[in-house]
Structure formats: C-alpha cells, structure tokens
Amino acid sequence: MQKRVLTVDDSKTMRDMLLVTLKQAGYDVLQAEDGQEALTKLESAEVDVIITDINMPVMDGIAFIKACRGKAAFASTPILTLTTESSDAKKAEGRNAGATGWIVKPFNPDSLIRVIEKVCP
Amino acid sequence: MDDLAEFKQTYFQECEELLVDLEGQLTALQDGETDDEILHAAFRAIHSIKGGAGAFGFAQLVGFAHVFETVLDQMREHQLETSTANVALLIRAGDILSDLVSAAQQDETLADDFGQDLLESLHELAGTEAGGDDDDDDDDPFGDVNDGPAEEAEPSVSAAARDIKIAFAPTPQLFHRANDPLILIRELKKFGSLETEVDSTRLPTLEDIEADGAYLTWRFTLHTPASVDDIRDVFEFVIDDCQLEVEEIGADPSTDTDSEKAAPVQEPGAGAKSGERPEDKTDESEANTASAENDARTKPERKADKAPRPQTPAESPSGNKAAADKKPPASIRVDLDRIDRLVNMVGELVITQAMLSEQIGQLTVEDQAGLLHGVETLELQMRELQESVMSIRAQPVKSVFSRMTRLVRELSCSLDKKAKLVITGETTEVDKTVIEELSDPLTHMIRNSMDHGLETPSEREQAGKPAEGTIQLSAEHRNGKIVIAVSDDGRGINREKVLKKAIEKGLTTPDARPSDDEIDNMILLPGFSTADQVSNVSGRGVGMDVVVRKIQNMGGRIGITSVPGQSSRFSLTLPLTLAVLDGMIIRVGSEFYIIPITSIVETQRPDDETIHQLASGGEVLAIRGGFIKLVHLARLFGCQRPASEEDDQLVVVVETGASGPIGLVVDELVGQQQVVIKSLESNYRRVQGVAGATILGNGMVALILDVDGVHSMSQQGNGSMIATRPTEMIEMPQDAVA
C-alpha cells in the first residue's frame, strides 16, 4: 500500500526536493508551508509519516510536533524533524517535543528514504 | 538531472525574496526595533538560504550563511546584543550573502577569501573558530545521520560473523515519540540471524495496564559480521529512551551459534520463554507477539480515533479552504511566457474590438442601434479584461527599491558622506518589465544625489543642517501613471555652474536667458555630463542623459526641481505598463499618427493673429499670454498633402519632458483609442521621433509619436525637413538592390 508522507517546510525549494524524492520512491505526498497549515491538512487526511522543518513562520516545527503529540490520533505517527542543524541541542529540542527522529538537511535521496523506512517500514 | 536545474531556479527565486526580507529585517533592527520576531524572521531567511545552498553544494555560501546564522541565533537567544555596531556588521554580512547568492546563480567563482574579513568578524562575534574553511561539522553536506542508515543497507562485511549481545529496555518515552520496538527488531534482523527473548514478567494485569507504559524488555543475540556501531545506529533515534547494551561476544567465525552463552545472561524471571531456543523462523513471531502486546496498548486508541474519520482525499475542498482562509493572499508562480502570451492575446483582442467599432460606424443608423450597444459593452469589458491581465504582471517596486538601501550604504562609505535612505510607497505596483528597467536609472539617480547633491558632513554642519543627509525614494500612482521620485536635502543644483558648463558645451547660447527650471533640466541634456565631473562613484561613463533616454524609451518623463542650498528632486513619470497606451489618432496629409493622451495638454484651432513668424524661420503660437513653439508634423515627416488643407490646421499642444509645451500642427483629430504598442526597434530599427507603431481598427499601421523626440528633431532641422520615415523606408530596398 502506498504510504503517505506529510512534508512541512516554509521553503519551496525544500518542499519541491522532498516532493520529487518521495514521489520517486513511491510515496504519496501532502505538503504544508507551516505547522498551522499542516494541522489543518491533518484534520482531513491520514498520513503515515510526518517530516517537518523546525524554523517556520506562523507555527514552528516544535509547536507543531507538540500539537500532534497532544492529539490521540497522531500520538503514534512517526515525526521526523528536518533541519540543517545537526547539533545535539536542535535534535534534543525536537525530541523533547516528541519527534521520533531527525533528518539532517541537505539530504541525499537514498538516505532520506532510509531514514523514513527506519521509522515507518 | 533535470529536476536539479528546476530546483535551482526555484531556489534562486526564493533567495531573491528572502534577501529582500532579510534586508527589511536588518533595516528594522538598525532603526532600533527590538521585536524578537524580527530576529526570528531574519534567522529563518538565512537558514533557508543555507539549507538550499547545501543541497546544491554551494560550499562558500553555506560556510558564510552558517556563521551568519549562528550570530543571529545567539542574538535571538539574547546571548548577543543587537547593538548598533553589531547590526551594522549584520547589514554588511547581508550584502556579502547577497553577492554570494548572485555568484552562485551566475555560476561565478569568487576568490576563496571573498568576504573573509567579514566572516572573521562574524566568527569573532559568535565566539566560534574562524580557522578552517568550512570544516564545521554542522556543515557536512551529508551529515553523519544520513550516512548511518545508508551503511545499514549494506553492512560492511569486512569483519567476520560473530555474536553480538543486545539488551534493550525501552522507557515509556520511546512510545511517546512514536518509535516502535518491532521496527527496531526488524532492522536488527537485516544484519544476520537473530535470537530474541522477551521478558514480559513486569506486564501487569489487564486492568492495571497503562496505555503508554513500557513493560517489556528484550535480549537479542545477533550473529552478524556488522560492527557494533552499525548495531547502535539502529537505535539512533531511541538511544535516550531506553537502556541499551551492545556487547561483542567474540570474533569466533564458527557458524555454530554459541547459544549456551546466552542462557546465563538471562534473568531468572524470564521464565518459560527463556527455556525455549528460538530458531530463526520463530524469532519474528516472537517479536510479533511482543509487539502485538505493545500494539494492543498503544494502537487501539489511535485506530479508534481515526476510524470515524471519513477517508477524504488529501486535497479535500474543506481542507484546502480552511488552509486558504488562514493564508494571507494566496499566490502561484506562473511562467512569465504564459502571461506574456495572455497579454499579447488581449492586445490582439483590443485591436479586433476597435476594428468592429470602426466598421459599425460605417453602417446606417438603423443597423447600428442594436450593435452599438453591444460593442460599447464589449469595449468596457475589454478594458476591464485588459486591466486585470496587466495587473497579473504588476509587482511592487519593493524589490528594486530595497536594493537601493545597500547602494546608499556603500556610497556613504566610499564618498565619506553620511546619508540615510527613506523609502515610501514601496508597495506601489507596476508592470514587471518597468521594474526590471527601473534598476539602472534609479541607481544612477541615487548615485547622482549622493555624489553631487549631498554635501560632506562638515559642509552640512556649516550650513546648519544635520550631518546625516536624507535621500528620499518614493513611489506613487498618479493619473494612471507611476511617479517615482528621488530627492535629497543637499546643496541643490548650482545654476550658475550648470549654465556656464552648458554654454561651454554649446548646449545653449551665452545670450539665452533660460529660466531656473530650464537650467536645472540642462543637466539632462545629452553631452552635459562629462569626464571632469565624473568621480569614481558616478564615473561609469554615463551621464544623466542616459537615464533620460532610458526613461523616454519606456514612454516616461523625467523632471527636476531644485531649491539652491536646500534640496533637489528628480521625478520619473512612467506608464504602468509598456504594452498599451491611450492615444489620440491624428491625421497629417494621408498619414496617421498616434499622440499619447498623457502628453496632450489641449487642442486649438488658431487664428492667423495668434501665430507669429520668427526671424529664425520658426513659428510660435501665442497662448494665454505666453508663446509656444510650433512644429509642423507634415514638414517634419515630409508628408504629402493637398494644398487645400494648408490653411485649415489644428494645433495639438503637448507637454515635453524637458522644454515645456510645444504645439504640433496637424490636419485632423481622428479619435481617441487605446493602442497596443508594437516595438519599431524589434521589427525595423529605432527612428527618431517615433516611440513605436500600432495597428489601427481599419488595419492600417500608425506610428506612435515620441513627443520629446519630435521636439529635438525640430530643433536640429528647425522644423524644415528631416524626412526620417517614409523616404528611408522606401529607400531601404533600393539600397539593397544597388
């Protein structure tokens, strides 16, 4: 069955790159530009994995992850943070909010898929 | 990879927007605003630029952005002050960042030490090492995290297979973060043969069970050639949410699994299951059982919650609408070619509509009645359609205005003057083509104001002005045009000096008595700006006349007003679009011309008494106590006309950019019409006095007059000859044959 990924990033470049990479790997992709839009999309769609940027306007990734974890429906949906900072502080910030794992930008297509499979085989 | 080129295009478009944003945020900081959101927004802008740069391998850009970002990060965390000096540094860093982006876009290679001094200053501010190039581990384009899983796919087989013992006890946190032991176990299985034991002794009875509790622990024996690090990598995301022990038992390559060793490690409480010797086949079912228990605790809730939800597709209208409601104005990116096609189509439609109107005019009154109403409605709708289509291409002037901030900053440094740029009306919208053409003239005008307009700080203080000069850049819509003004509070135009120079250059005669305004406008004349006046700032080998030509080519006008000792102001009046204009069709002999409505002041049918012959051979028209010069278009363009028309003439008074009104002598006013401009330059070549051509409703081609060009032609030839158009066009093929 085709898995659906929700990508949340304010940068169109990044959204496009994720879109193409994920589509090529056979995923169905939903997109949002910030946490608020992502939550709205989640109201009407089920997703298997969420990939979210941390730094975004309106609602940032941390607030978005917390909001997801606060909802029973998304309590066990894997959420991967997508961020250029591979520093432990940033990873920890995402993890404290409830992120399942992380992806370091920039990613190469293979590694992106590997990481997704790691949390959602 | 085709995608990559496309991504890059998106990226650079995005960078352009982000850099404009960044400039705005930094300027706000400079102006003393302290809102945290400004710092956050600036951080995000750089962050996004860096993110994309990494993906495309723009190492220099990544390196610089990284340090820049670090400094901003510290500022938003209040670890660093947003002092004036620090903000000034950030602004300069923004300029360098912008240069790095352009270099990447143009595929240029900059010197390795480009922006090095600034980079070091940023490092100093951030308290980071300036040392190596970009060896900061954060910048590794393909970070360790991503390499890890890639290795998992093909575990290194260099080591011989041996047993690795793994003890794994998750905490409830692991489940809170949506990690799943079952997935981890499956990952482990990929490395080799796996024996699994689960300790379920702490599993409470059903009524005591907590949905998010962690009651199970596992012990694995993995026979694999993979390294301990590879194994640990599997647990990368859960390492803080479990107790994990990974221990290499021995490098004994024996295929006989040393299972006995596993037994003593088992806790006594492992009970019945510990006695079993799971085979490869069973361990997954084992794990499944374990995980099923786990599932039983965490998943039902989620499933139940999801079940009643209708399985609407992702792009359900409700979802989209809700999202759209929250967004500011939604926008899409459209290929410019498509819009141009649309604009052209509408242009053709306008012509067709004019053609219809014209043909209806030739019908009898009875036939007209019904049709006329329809055509009038069509005309209204057409105009509305045209305006909406044109507005698609409209963009705020902000993008070009914001570049000027940097220009003023840099000029302040190189000229040793103090100046601030005040921008107003940057949201005023105008056609994209106009915006693209604006950058050069604006740059030149601001250079001019900074170089010649503003005094040095000491001069200013002596004159009782603040040491810091102000340059104002404004945009506004006025009468269907956009007016862009650059003004400064400098010394104004030195009329004595300008007049002297103009006489030297032969641009005027010593006995002429020009008005103040006329003198001010002399600096716009071709040949006025010369080398001895050019400093290294405005010294790009061009004078203001280049600006004038450019503006005129765009169908605009430029005007100067100046108060000596106080200010000077350059204002550009430009059409909102370069594709259509409202024109008055006039006839001269058998030829039709278009005069842009915006330059027409009035029309007159003069008496003989009001026309005066000058000794020099020209004619002037007395009008409300003043005189304006008359230009006979028929003579100027060499139009043939019957002698009967000689006496029956009209004068169209038009405003020229530099010399005030002049009167154009024509034979007939045919009518007013919106015309679609077709470039003469791209279809033929530039012709003096002609701004372009258009197709009339009757299918004839009419030339659109360039009023200023007509005026200067009449000055050169004294309104006598210069048969620019008809003869030259006919001669062309003859020349070719000869």
- Closest chain A C-alpha to B47 CA, distance in angstroms: 8
Contacts of B464 (CB under 8 A, 6+ apart): none
pLDDT of residue B720: 40
For A86, which of B10, B145, B183 is closest by C-beta distance? B145
Cα nearest neighbour of B174 on chain A: A100
Residue range B303-310: mean pLDDT, rounded: 42
Is a pLDDT exceeding 90 seen at residue B102?
no
Please spell the DSSP secondary structure of B635-661, one letter per residue. Answer: HHHT----GGGTTS-EEEEEEETTTEE
What tokens were used for B549? 């030509």
Is a pLDDT exceeding 80 seen at residue B314?
no
pLDDT of residue B543: 67
pLDDT of residue A81: 86
pLDDT of residue B657: 60
Alpha carbon distance A116, A103 (integer Å): 9
What pLDDT, in 10s, does the model give residues B345-375? 887 787 788 778 777 777 777 777 777 778 8
Identify whether the C-beta of residue B704 lies closer than 8 Å to the C-beta of residue B583: yes
Task: Quote the percentage of chain B above a pLDDT of 70.
Answer: 76
What pLDDT, in 10s, does the model give residues B174-197? 887 878 888 888 888 888 888 888
Task: Quote the percentage of chain A above a pLDDT of 90.
Answer: 2
Residue range B393-411: mean pLDDT, rounded: 85
Q: Among B47, B242, B320, which would you mutate to test the A interface (most chain A Cβ atoms within 10 Å of its Cβ)?
A: B47
pLDDT of residue B155: 45
Alpha carbon distance B382, B594 (integer Å): 21
Q: Which of B66-75, B256-265, B699-708 has the lowest mean pLDDT?
A: B256-265
What pLDDT, in 10s, does the model give residues B508-562? 777 777 888 888 888 877 667 644 444 444 444 456 777 777 787 777 778 888 8
Return residues 135-154 of B near A (CB < 8 Å): 137-138, 140-147, 149-150, 152-153
Asked if residue B733 has a cis previous peptide bond (ω within 30° of 0), the answer is no
Determine, for residues A76 and B316 on separate chains, whether the beta-carbon distance falls below 8 Å.
no
Alpha carbon distance B714, B735 (integer Å): 27
Cα nearest neighbour of B320 on chain A: A41
Task: Quote the percentage of chain A above a pLDDT of 70.
Answer: 96
For chain A, the first-to-last Cα distance in angstroms comes to 12
Q: How confident is the model at residue B725 (pLDDT cuts 50, 70, 90)?
A: very low
Determine, for residues B314 and A100 on separate chains, whether the beta-carbon distance falls below 8 Å.
no
Nearest to B575 by CA among B687, B478, B485, B657: B478
HEC readout, B160-172: CCEEEEEEEEECH
**Residues forming beta bridges with residue B587, ordered by sequence position:** B592, B668
pLDDT of residue B265: 41
Cα nearest neighbour of B298 on chain A: A76
Q: B694 or B266: whose pLDDT is higher?
A: B694
What tokens were used for B504? 């030297």
Determine, for residues A13 and B55 on separate chains, whether the beta-carbon distance falls below 8 Å.
yes
The per-type count for chain B, helices as H runs and strands as E runs, is 25, 22
Phi, psi of B469, deg, nearest 5: -80, 160
Model's pTM, two decimal places? 0.48
Q: Based on the number of CB atoms within 10 Å of its own CB, is A24 exposed (0-12), middle (13-18) or buried (19 or more)? A: exposed
Residue range B20-32: mean pLDDT, rounded: 85
Determine, for residues A73 and B54 on separate chains, whether the beta-carbon distance falls below 8 Å.
no
Q: Look at residue B216 and give its three-state secondary structure.
A: coil
pLDDT of residue B664: 92
Mean pLDDT across chain B: 74
For A79, which of B47, B141, B178 is closest by C-beta distance? B178
Determine, for residues B313 and A104 on separate chains, whether the beta-carbon distance falls below 8 Å.
no
Alpha carbon distance B704, B694 (integer Å): 7
pLDDT of residue B256: 42
Please spell the DSSP secondary structure of B349-405, one letter per residue. Answer: HHHHHHHHHHHHHTS-HHHHHHHHHHHHHHHHHHHHHHHHHHHHHEEETHHHHHHHH
Is a pLDDT exceeding 60 seen at residue B18?
yes
One-letter amino acid of B480: G
- Closest chain A C-alpha to B503 CA, distance in angstroms: 58
Please spell the DSSP secondary structure of B570-599, one letter per residue. Answer: EEEEEES-SSEEEEEEEEETTEEEEEEGGG
Identify whether the C-beta of residue A115 lies closer than 8 Å to the C-beta of residue B233: no
Return residues 26-45 of A near B (CB < 8 Å): 28, 30, 32, 36-37, 40-41, 43-45
Q: How confident is the model at residue B2 (pLDDT cuts 50, 70, 90)?
A: low
Return residues 262-321 of B near A (CB < 8 Å): 298-299, 301-302, 305-306, 309, 311-314, 316, 318-319
**Residues forming beta bridges with residue B567, ordered by sequence position:** B563
Q: How confident is the model at residue B254 (pLDDT cuts 50, 70, 90)?
A: very low
pLDDT of residue B512: 74
Is a pLDDT exceeding 70 seen at residue B149?
no
Determine, for residues B43 and A87 on separate chains, whether the beta-carbon distance falls below 8 Å.
no
What pLDDT, in 10s, does the model give residues B457-483? 888 999 888 988 999 999 988 766 788
Q: How confident is the model at residue A116 (pLDDT cuts 50, 70, 90)?
A: confident
Alpha carbon distance B134, B149 (integer Å): 25
pLDDT of residue B280: 43
Alpha carbon distance B404, B450 (integer Å): 12
One-letter amino acid of B47: H
Task: Quote the percentage of chain B above a pLDDT of 90.
Answer: 3
Residue numbers in B near A46 (CB within 8 A): 306, 309, 311
A76 touching B, CB under 8 A? Answer: yes
pLDDT of residue B300: 41
Is a pLDDT exceeding 60 seen at residue B272?
no
Q: Please report which helix (H) or strand (E) contains residue B72, including its range.
A: helix B59-76
Residue range B112-138: mean pLDDT, rounded: 67
Q: B681 or B163: whose pLDDT is higher?
A: B163
Task: Encode burial over B143-171: b for 16+ CB neighbours within 10 A, e otherwise.
Answer: bebbbbbebbeebeeebebbbbbbbbbbe
Alpha carbon distance B634, B465 (integer Å): 54
What tokens were used for A20? 């193409």
Alpha carbon distance B292, B299 (integer Å): 10
Is a pLDDT exceeding 60 seen at residue B308?
no
What tokens were used for B120? 């070091």
Q: B486 or B648: whose pLDDT is higher?
A: B486
Nearest to B220 by CA among B244, B243, B196: B196
What pLDDT, in 10s, does the model give residues A48-88? 889 988 888 888 888 888 888 888 788 888 888 887 656 66
A118 touching B, CB under 8 A? Answer: yes
Alpha carbon distance B53, B70 (integer Å): 16
Residue numbers in A near B183 (CB within 8 A): 118-121
Identify whether the C-beta of residue B567 lies closer than 8 Å to the C-beta of residue B490: yes
Q: Which of A84-93, A110-119, B92-101, B682-691 has the lowest mean pLDDT?
A: A84-93
pLDDT of residue B717: 59
Alpha carbon distance B288, B294 (integer Å): 9
pLDDT of residue B529: 64
Determine, for residues B302 and A57 on separate chains, whether the beta-carbon distance falls below 8 Å.
no
Alpha carbon distance B50, B144 (integer Å): 18
pLDDT of residue B471: 92
Phi-psi region of B722 (alpha: psi -120 to 50; beta: other; left: phi over 0): left
- Closest chain A C-alpha to B240 CA, distance in angstroms: 10
pLDDT of residue A85: 59
What pLDDT, in 10s, does the model give residues B569-588? 998 888 777 667 778 999 98
Residue numbers in B near A22 (CB within 8 A): none
Cα nearest neighbour of A28 on chain B: B314
pLDDT of residue B485: 92
Residue range B479-493: mean pLDDT, rounded: 85
Residue range B641-669: mean pLDDT, rounded: 78
For A95, which of B187, B240, B318 is closest by C-beta distance? B240
Residue numbers in B near A110 (CB within 8 A): 150
Cα nearest neighbour of A105 on chain B: B51
Is a pLDDT exceeding 80 seen at residue B563?
yes
Most confidently predicted of A62-66, B232-236, B245-249, B532-536: A62-66
- Closest chain A C-alpha to B52 CA, distance in angstroms: 7
pLDDT of residue B594: 92
B24 touching A, CB under 8 A? Answer: no
Determine, for residues A105 and B147 on separate chains, whether the beta-carbon distance falls below 8 Å.
no
Residue numbers in B near A28 (CB within 8 A): 314
For B302, which of A10, A12, A75 is closest by C-beta distance? A75
> Could you count the other beta carbons within 10 Å of the beta carbon of residue B262?
19
Determine, for residues A37 and B326 on separate chains, whether the beta-carbon distance falls below 8 Å.
yes
Alpha carbon distance B738, B732 (integer Å): 10
